[in-house]
Amino acid sequence: MTTIETLAPAKINLTLHVTGRRPDGYHLLDSLVVFAGVGDHITARSGPGLSFMATGPFGGAVPMDGSNLVLRAADLMAGTSGRGATLTLEKNLPPASGIGGGSADAAATLRGLADLWHQPLPDREALLSLGADVPVCMTNTPQHMRGIGEDLTPVTGLPPLFMVLATPRVPVPTPQVFAALDGAFGAPMPPRPVFPRPYDFIEWLATCRNDLEGPACALAPEIDDTLFALRHTPDCLLARMSGSGATCFGLYPDAEARERAARMLSSENPDWWVAEG
């Protein structure tokens, strides 16, 4: 029996400028996306029919209905071929929290099944039909993301990032956060230095924004508390929300400062999900 394991790392929007809205209601983004060192795991085993189970700390929160992105991705890959697989999702990332969870799981499922079944990946339109973040999650490498998520340019030359992720356990539905923007669109990102030193990169990041931070904090004030706590950890260089929230990230100068901040946040906020990224 063949078994394929794929990683679905957390997607972090270091910046997220919302620059407009399409006639279909989807928003136009200008975002610098990177991937963290923590993530979900997908295991795909050959077998008859498609079956699915979820394990891990957040396994119980994974929907088992038609909204399950692992199953939707598997259906897309199987098409009418009748191919089968047993899929296991180890859910380590808090669901619906602005770090791509479902999209990263869908992307990892597609990659795993493409390997297992020796089959090509779906085209970009099909990826987008699963979710606007699925194309970027297929890459697992830093990307400049535009359009609604389909226009991707690989980004190289970023300095190493020492990141802490913190999620207050509060649900923030993505459509509600986008809707709360209410047409308040902003300018795209300013030009990025090509091979920045760490200090210059953080300085540039500080001139950028996550335009969804205001609307998300208005819907869930716990996000403001999380940003405040991150900003007050020793040596925090920058703190910002990722995606539509509620996960926020802090950036630190080195691994030691990152570890200290993660330890401090976990002990002061035992109900948050905190991870080094």
Q: In the chain, where do the E strands start and end?
A: 3-21, 27-46, 50-55, 85-90, 143-147, 151-154, 162-167, 238-241, 248-252, 273-276
Q: Is 270 in the site for ligand C5P (CB under 6 A)?
A: no
Rounded CA-CA distance 260/241 in Å is 20
- Rounded Cα distance, 123 and 127, in Å: 6
Q: Is residue 8 at the binding interface for ligand C5P, with CB under 6 A as the rule?
A: no
Examine residue 181 and tell whether it contacts ligand C5P (CB under 6 A): no
> Is position 11 annotated as part of the catalytic site?
yes
C-beta of 102: minimal distance to ligand C5P in Å? 7
Q: Return the biggest CA–CA distance within the chain.
A: 55
Both structure tokens of 135:
């194309």
Out of 90, 133, 211, 213, which residue is the one contacting ligand C5P (CB under 6 A)? Answer: 133
Length of the chain: 277
Is residue 155 a contact residue for ligand C5P (CB under 6 A)? Answer: no
At 117, the amino acid letter reads: W
- Answer yes or no: is 101 a known binding residue: yes
* Active site annotation includes 30: no
Which one of residues 132, 136, 138, 164 is an interface residue with ligand C5P (CB under 6 A)?
132
How many CB atoms sit inside 10 A of residue 156's CB? 8
- 98 marked as binding residue: yes
E strand or H helix at 103, and its extent? helix 101-117
Give yes or no for residue 131 binding ligand C5P (CB under 6 A). yes
Q: Is the CB of 98 or the CB of 277 nearer to ligand C5P? A: 98
Nearer to ligand C5P, 39 or 149 (CB): 149
- Candidates 9, 98, 149, 277; binder of ligand C5P (CB under 6 A) is 149
Give the residue carrying structure tokens 């308040």.
Answer: 184
Stretch that binds ligand C5P, among 37-45, 49-57, 79-87, 174-182 (CB under 6 A): 174-182
**Of residues 91-130, those binding ligand C5P (CB under 6 A):** none
- Please tell me which residue in 40, 105, 133, 211 is annotated as part of the active site: 133
CA gap 244, 31 in Å, rounded: 12
C-alpha 101/C-alpha 109 separation (Å) is 12
Residue type at position 275:
A
CB of 137 to ligand C5P, least distance (A): 10
Tell which one of 114, 126, 148, 264 touches ligand C5P (CB under 6 A).
148
CB-based burial label for 234 (10 Å; 0-12, 13-18, 19+): exposed
- Report the nearest approach of ligand C5P to the CB of residue 132 (Å): 4
Question: By C-beta, is 30 or 230 nearer to ligand C5P?
Answer: 30
Preceding peptide of 246 cis, ω within 30°: yes
Q: Which amino acid, one-letter code, is at 24?
A: D
Q: Is 185 in the site for ligand C5P (CB under 6 A)?
A: no
Residues that constitute the known binding site for ATP: 94-104
**Footprint of ligand C5P (CB under 6 A):** 26-27, 29, 131-133, 148-149, 174-175, 178
Query: Which amino acids are annotated catalytic?
Result: 11, 133
